[in-house]
A and B are shown apart, each in its own frame.
Chain A
Amino acid sequence: MINMIYFDNSATSYPKPASVPQAMAAAVVQLGGNPGRGGHSMAVNAAKAVYGVREQAAEMFGAQPENTVFTVNCTHALNTAIKGVVNGGGHIIISSMEHNAVSRPIYAMLDNGVSCSVARAAESDDETVSNFDKLIRGDTKAIVCTAVSNVTGKILPVEQLAKLCREKGICLICDAAQAAGVIPLSLDTSADIICTAGHKGLFGPSGTGLLITNGRYPITPLMEGGTGTTSLETAQPDIMPERLESGTVNVPGIMGLGKGIGFVKAKGIDNIHRKEEVLCELFIDRIKNIDGIKIYREKEGKYAPIVAFNVGDMHSDDAAQYLGEHGFALRGGYQCAAVTHHFLGTLDCGVVRFSPSVFNNEAQVARLADYVKKLSLF
């Protein structure tokens, strides 16, 4: 057992529900076949088990199971979606709150007929949507927007952006790494393609992610290879989800993810959000009057359960290091989000990020706040 109070659930959730490692261990022993490879019962049973989790994930996001693709992580899903939709060039608009998993794949395509504009995420949702609208051009192929900033927790208006995109015939790709399991998202109202990690708010293990599509925009595969079907043809099959799932999938990871999704459904997304938000409110309440504290929340903004803060002029890495030495796991630095820190004006010091989970409690948060106060006296 790890002797640390863990508040870094935006990086990956910990602990996992006990059913997650149990399902993974059982999968290694009981699901030894390769799903979709061979007609023997072990292969077929593994395929059925994988399909069961596909159905669970699809239901959570209002998708069809065959349009629910297992990936290695959210970055893999985003690379597949962005490069697969904007294949051949075009214009992309992203928000000012994007993770490097969005900005770097686009940056890598800039020499290949792709151009990119950045829409500022404003305090008001209407202004944010207007900022995107103003940047749409004739060759705009996609808007890529996070549902929740991984740095500040700011919730972006993806449902309004989805309406805008449908009016204009543009694909909306939603980065749901921080939102899945905390905020309800659906293909009906939120995006054409939802990409998310399995190991954060869905409580699955690392090495799992999801790409969920409504099928309106074809996605060129990032990789080609074995799919278990049409083996004598050289061309990658066009049947989903195998088209985007070359190679053997992570069966133990997917089984763990299934239990994680089951845990979220049983608890209820709204209940999880409420509990974590209470912990954030308590934390903010305890630290807001400390001398030199800066909390990165706008007055009218809407937030998921993440709090970004700094202590005086101290570099966020130093603050996180101090808290780590006293038993608290928080992330300092830049959270792999260069665009966000540029717009926040925190390129010099980064931020410390507090991200609780449903497994934390108020006493743990109060203890952390006490240490933040001690830190402010340095």
Chain B
Amino acid sequence: MRSKHEKTVFAMSSVTYAVKAQSLLRANGFGCEVIRTPKDLAKGCGYSIMVIGSRENAEQLLQRAGIEIKASRAI
């Protein structure tokens, strides 16, 4: 039950990858929004996705699609 409501921010390498990741995760039943990368995850401008659902499953999906996760943390 915990993983269903788990929230994670994944920092992406660009807005293109952020939108690609959002599209992939939503298609697989995750809640997902594109957000600005929080300052504690990366310096400078960048984009992240805020994902609702199992962090582990989301990571696996992104990795299988060749989408690099620059950094991540639970929120």
Contact = CB atoms under 8 A, between A and B. Distances in A.
A38 B36 contact: yes
A211 B24 CA distance: 24
Contacts of B13: 229, 237, 239
B19 A47 contact: yes
Contacts of A103: none
B64 interface: no
Interface residues of B, number: 18
B45 A66 contact: no
Interface in A52-98: 54, 65-66
Nearest to B43: A232
Interface of A: 35-39, 44, 47-48, 51, 54, 65-66, 227-233, 237, 239-242
Given A237-B14, A239-B13, A36 B47 contact: yes
Contacts of B22: 48
Contacts, number: 64
Nearest to A232: B44
A65 B15 CA distance: 12
B31 interface: no
B9 to A, nearest CB: 12
Interface in B38-52: 43-47
B35 interface: yes
Contacts of A240: 16
Contacts of A36: 14-16, 47
B31 to A, nearest CB: 16
A237 B16 CA distance: 13
B44 A230 contact: yes
Contact of B17 (A39, A232, A239): A239
B70 to A, nearest CB: 10
B58 interface: no
B25 to A, nearest CB: 14
Contacts of B46: 229-230
11 contacts: A39-B35, A44-B15, A48-B34, A51-B16, A51-B20, A54-B16, A227-B14, A229-B15, A230-B46, A231-B45, A233-B44
Contacts of A65: 16, 20
A231 B44 contact: yes
Nearest to A36: B15
Contacts of A66: 14, 16-17, 20
Nearest to B42: A230
Contacts of B36: 38-39
